[in-house]
Structure 1
Amino acid sequence: MSGNLYVVAAPSGAGKTTLVRLLLEREPGVNLSISYTTRGPRPGEQNGREYHFVDVETFKGMIDRQEFLEWAEVHGNFYGTSKKWIADQLAAGRDVLLEIDWQGAQQVRSLFPQAIGIFILPPSMEELTRRLTGRGTDAQEVIARRLAAAQAEMRHVGEFDYVIINDQLDQALEDLRAIVRASRLAFPAQRARHAALFDRLI
């Protein structure tokens, strides 16, 4: 496999979705994996764009058929990543980005140990609280649950290769782009992507 697999995780409210969207706009060749989920679409979300929205019965059938690279239950909803789609993309030399939680990242690493793990942190708990409250989409009890979950999730930051502190969005984006660009220049990636050149030169 010659494509890079990027696994980006973060607690809710750290700005992961915004950073990933901006990265995809600025770094051609990075393909976002669209997860399956049983949660309902938020305003403006479209099936097949943000997520593949399915019911619980359909999702559990996919688990039984072992169609997921990883799956997890988060905040009462199921999320999962198509195993075949990821493998096909990497085999074709395409870079793939997974926007998942730490549990999913653990499952991915067990099957793709070469995956590049990136964790996004907020600059403070106060800022994280402000961001979650500012969304205006969740009830107070939901926000409190997300904050408690965020603290538990951040304890897994040491399992990732890179950490970005999302204080200033522009700087955080440049840090994320730097990781992608550097990983593409690593010897295994260059050897796979430019096999004919290496054969001629070496």
Structure 2
Amino acid sequence: MATSDRLPNRLLRYAESRKNLTGCAAGLAGLALTLTGAAGALWPLVVVGLYAAGALIAPPERPDTPCFPDAGEQLDALRADFTKLRAYLAEVELPPAARERVDELAELLDALLAPGWVSDPEQLHVLARAVRQDVPEAVDTFVRTRWWSRVTPGAEPPERHLERQLSALREEASAIADELHEAEALRQQTHTRYLEERNR
């Protein structure tokens, strides 16, 4: 059944293909030769031969280029995921020092994810990794480890690792903020020079 369903689709695809259309055009040229009498008694072979030649010389079919979301669409999806992350972080019970670091990181991420700032693919990748993987994993690992540390006292407090992880993530996000600040400062300086030179 699957083979019979696929056969009409294949035939339809071939009928619309460049090879078939080029072959048909060449076959029509063969019919025109037949009508003028140039093909003679072997006109069916001429028509079939020209169709085959046209199908062979036609350029191969090329699949459509995949359409990926642009930076704006990626940012919209990332902001939606960040909203989910903030709701999750609000529910998690954290020690005061870790809560402070989480809130600072969330504020920084919120500012970076505001429309109109980040468009560089590498920066978007870093932010997406932080929102979708690093922050949730750091907090979830802390919650799980804290539960086990109650069962096995004397181990290193899990909040130390969480605080270190959050600090590392904040440094990473701060580096992006610094790059954006430098780019805007350079843009401002360039515009100032342009205005000053224009008025000379």
Q: Name the one with the larger strand percent.
A: 1
TM-score by length of structure 2 reads 0.28
Higher-Rg structure is: 2
Higher relative contact order (CA 8 A, sep 6+): 1
Give the helix-richer structure, 1 or 2: 2
TM-score when normalising by structure 1: 0.27
